[in-house]
Structure 1
């Protein structure tokens, strides 16, 4: 009886339903676990860690002291350590060692140190230890000594105590940051616009020269505009020099844990904090501020410090441009294959070719984009429309436009297949009813068939976004760079600069993870950037899913 029941159970298909459900559940658990690991490893980097004073013995028996954060720990084979000359206990097979972020790269030459737990003689937490985030040389860890103005001590810990010196330091750092923001605004805003205008005048003058146009009125106009821009630049230059002098006014003096004194100008300081004196609320405020810096600031220190806003902006803008380009191409191709092309061997071969294109390695598309779009198409555009800029290329060089077009070609098979599936699901009676009422075939397509198949089109766009947003290999050939000096969108005419190179989150992960000179400092940023890339793709996909669901509800009645 039991055998019959088991046999009937298998015939009913229930085991396969449960097997599929278990596989889906396992996949969900693995995805959530992976995202959780990435989030913890990446986002935990911005929490202010306790600074420990670690005393340990070196291989030679010398006693040394380090101040820093404990960022990692691992087990190391005792045999391996003995072969390297370390003294280890005989009864241990593995020994734990800690990775300390000690900062002070300008003093020590490296800002991470591995220390064996067996060699540590003491590890204590002292108050008033400070961390100083700098624009160069990474973090500084040590003790605050004094604050200076124009080389003269204003307040010191020895005279006024730590709290008073700390308050004075924070106020002057805030002032220095305000000055730096003003300097950056002038350099990238007003002076950047002037330089852009001068370059346009140079190209305009070169264009007149190539045309043989010697009209004195036109030339005089160029001279007058150039003189006005130069005069404006001189005014801004004086203002900028005054701001630079003010920014150099304040300095701080601090000592490392081993007594080496370091003086630094506050214009080079981003943030000063005392993690050992922080309460929970202060740490949360610090954490939010660091997250904001990561999301909104430009990168520093070979992309291992600062933020990744240009990479976020470049990724989103490229995906949006790619979506705008791929949708009409994919829809038109699908409409032709389904509605207009004669269904036969040739059309079938075209469909097979489209499906095969989806399996071509992405780097092949990158090579095609480099050869066709950049060298051939971009070079031809430069010859026809930008001869005055040659030999410097305008569109004959990797840029945002060519990257978006390359990814559009890479993802167009996905849109074609999804759109064809949507068109095939529209009942024939709907088409015949529209034609019977006097509509032309094009009107039927435009007003009835395409709106009803729009959810399928959006499905194709969603799949295209999911694939294109994470691609890196083709972008390395057609437009992405390690660090872009300016965004492809600004206030200078024509406002959207499709010829500019841009940053991308996927390439940023590759660059920081594999090309960084400071691997230990870069590692948490790899996790954080990877988590952010997943979030960006999820947000873009969710927006497309919301549009698709809205369209599906709108045309559900017509489908039935």
Structure 2
């Protein structure tokens, strides 16, 4: 039987198809966006081939270029001619290539646009190498000599591989591994061992200052503090002597390299993070290199103004802040919802309070940041310093932005979400369940604690999921109450009290903003923006997945109570 258009439209089927199409389009757009972010971000860690070519520059002279081709685009030839660029073509559009030439200490920049048609004798010699340095970014060129002190121990000839070059390259890798081991030991001493001694000396200083403020600075007490301080100073001097020896060992080796313009440069191996020859690597080596770079991105600290290295401190700070925020907002939101639904008199005042809570969910996040700065940091934190940390004044302890105040600010920001979700869950519990519990002799509190709250727990977890999803991606309020561009130490370490809620921290969202818009080297930072954005999405998804798993478990556990 045929159905007319009028009957089909009146059946509601068109709206079903429209809604399904809208959902499909939205899903395709989201997946497409994530795909673009993943390709541009994760592709950054693949070892790109290094090109060498002769280039006819703007002065009409041939020069040698070495670098990684990054991207190619078509531009109007008239625009380039207007900019004074000579062109050897009559085409209306000219292809130009963005070349990552590195060697910022020699050329003043990492990237250069070149006219693709002006590149001549393009080649990919296997001896061309990439040096990742702790300063000045990548170096692209050819190794020439490896020196131990002033003594040459290895040399490289030509631009292609031969048995001598391969042996010299393996020796270079061994020396770099030695240098990295020494660097790791230096960092361990400076950050952990010396950091612990500095924390002990600061604790003794504050203890002495506290005794003086309380009028209890007796000679015996001060002498005891002096003895501990002298022991700490001796341990500090021993570590300094050890550091001096390690720095001397680290500065022993030097690599002589040759840049594209033929200029030779001496680079100390302790300034090199990694040396590799992408043109000589086979697929297995490239995959291994990719895995090591990806692990470095997840586990190492940033360097070079956050454009190189890893983002582990930002991952740690984001997760820890979200966990603390959840610990603060969940009990407060649940208690507020329980009071409004179960105990408060349902009158005008309660309705006004609900309207106020709903309106708080629409307040711009930066307003919460200003409130957190004024109330939590200056008022509450300043009061805590006056009461408990007078010995440290005028240096603030809690009277300055930090992890605690950032977590409380975001807890306040997400509190309306938890309240509304919890109250909706409480309202869906049948009245007969409460009455049945009371009829069996349970008190109102026992009914609430053993029956009502367990049945409403999935709704509570829904509120927590929404709170986590919003808080993890917030940036504006965090800029005022605790997030910084670079935090040299994590808020958790081996020094008492082990968890330092007063410390500033790094955050993935702010890291994206800083690298993308505040970086002095935008082109170098752009791939890290995509990679960090993808990681932030993954972190939020994992946090939400954990919360959803808990919610589903609670829903199955208390499903029998709903029957």
Q: Deviations over 1:352-403 (max 9, x none)?
A: 1111111100000000000000010000110111111111000000000000
Measure the CA separation in 1 of the matches of 2:339 and 2:17.
42
Kindly tell me: are residues 262 and 272 of structure 1, through their superposed partners in 2, closer, same or farther at Cα, counting changes over 3 Å? Answer: same
Alignment partner of 1:281 out of 281, 284, 290:
284
Measure the CA separation in 1 of the matches of 2:170 and 2:318.
40
Q: In structure 1, the residue corresponding to 2:254 is in which secondary structure?
A: strand
Q: In structure 2, the residue corresponding to 1:469 is in which secondary structure?
A: helix
Measure the CA separation in 2 of the matches of 1:360 and 1:526.
28
Q: In the alignment, does 2:340 pair up with 1:341?
A: no
1:86 matched residue in structure 2: 85
Q: In structure 1, the residue corresponding to 2:473 is in which secondary structure?
A: coil
Measure the CA separation in 2 of the matches of 1:235 and 1:314.
33
2:54 matched residue in structure 1: 55
RMSD: 1.3
Deviation at residue 415 of structure 1 after TM alignment: 0.3
1:531 matched residue in structure 2: 534
User: Is the 8 Å Cα contact of residues 208 and 217 (structure 2) preserved in structure 1?
Assistant: no
Alignment partner of 1:409 out of 403, 409, 412:
412
1:140 matched residue in structure 2: 139
User: Is the 8 Å Cα contact of residues 175 and 253 (structure 2) preserved in structure 1?
Assistant: yes
2:433 matched residue in structure 1: 430
Alignment partner of 1:241 out of 244, 248, 273:
244
Alignment partner of 1:290 out of 275, 289, 293:
293
Alignment partner of 2:330 out of 322, 327, 330:
327
Q: In the alignment, does 2:126 pair up with 1:123?
A: no
Measure the CA separation in 2 of the matches of 1:67 and 1:88.
21
Deviation at residue 90 of structure 1 after TM alignment: 6.2
Deviation at residue 235 of structure 1 after TM alignment: 1.4
1:542 matched residue in structure 2: 545
Kindly tell me: are residues 248 and 367 of structure 1, through their superposed partners in 2, closer, same or farther at Cα, counting changes over 3 Å? Answer: same
Deviation at residue 429 of structure 1 after TM alignment: 1.1
Q: In the alignment, does 2:493 pair up with 1:494?
A: no
1:73 matched residue in structure 2: 72
Q: In the alignment, does 2:205 pair up with 1:202?
A: yes
Q: In structure 2, the residue corresponding to 1:95 is in which secondary structure?
A: strand
Measure the CA separation in 2 of the matches of 1:381 and 1:108.
52
1:305 matched residue in structure 2: 308
1:272 matched residue in structure 2: 275
Measure the CA separation in 2 of the matches of 1:220 and 1:428.
70
1:456 matched residue in structure 2: 459
Q: In the alignment, does 2:524 pair up with 1:521?
A: yes
Deviation at residue 538 of structure 1 after TM alignment: 0.5
User: Is the 8 Å Cα contact of residues 298 and 312 (structure 2) preserved in structure 1?
Assistant: yes
Measure the CA separation in 2 of the matches of 1:90 and 1:136.
40
Deviation at residue 21 of structure 1 after TM alignment: 1.1
Q: In the alignment, does 2:473 pair up with 1:470?
A: yes
Measure the CA separation in 2 of the matches of 1:506 and 1:212.
48
Q: In the alignment, does 2:407 pair up with 1:421?
A: no
2:228 matched residue in structure 1: 225
1:511 matched residue in structure 2: 514
Deviation at residue 91 of structure 1 after TM alignment: 4.0
Q: In structure 1, the residue corresponding to 2:504 is in which secondary structure?
A: coil
Deviation at residue 5 of structure 1 after TM alignment: 2.9
Measure the CA separation in 2 of the matches of 1:78 and 1:214.
80
Q: In structure 1, the residue corresponding to 2:260 is in which secondary structure?
A: coil
Q: In structure 2, the residue corresponding to 1:214 is in which secondary structure?
A: coil
User: Is the 8 Å Cα contact of residues 101 and 112 (structure 2) preserved in structure 1?
Assistant: yes
Deviation at residue 121 of structure 1 after TM alignment: 2.4
Deviation at residue 89 of structure 1 after TM alignment: 5.6
1:214 matched residue in structure 2: 217
Measure the CA separation in 2 of the matches of 1:522 and 1:49.
16
Q: In structure 2, the residue corresponding to 1:472 is in which secondary structure?
A: coil
Q: In structure 2, the residue corresponding to 1:252 is in which secondary structure?
A: strand
Q: Deviations over 1:506-532 (max 9, x none)?
A: 000000000000111000010100010
Unaligned runs of 5+ in 2: none
Q: In the alignment, does 2:18 pair up with 1:26?
A: no
Measure the CA separation in 2 of the matches of 1:444 and 1:9.
51
Q: In structure 2, the residue corresponding to 1:59 is in which secondary structure?
A: coil
Out of 515-524 and 115-124, give the one that drifted further.
115-124
Deviation at residue 173 of structure 1 after TM alignment: 0.4
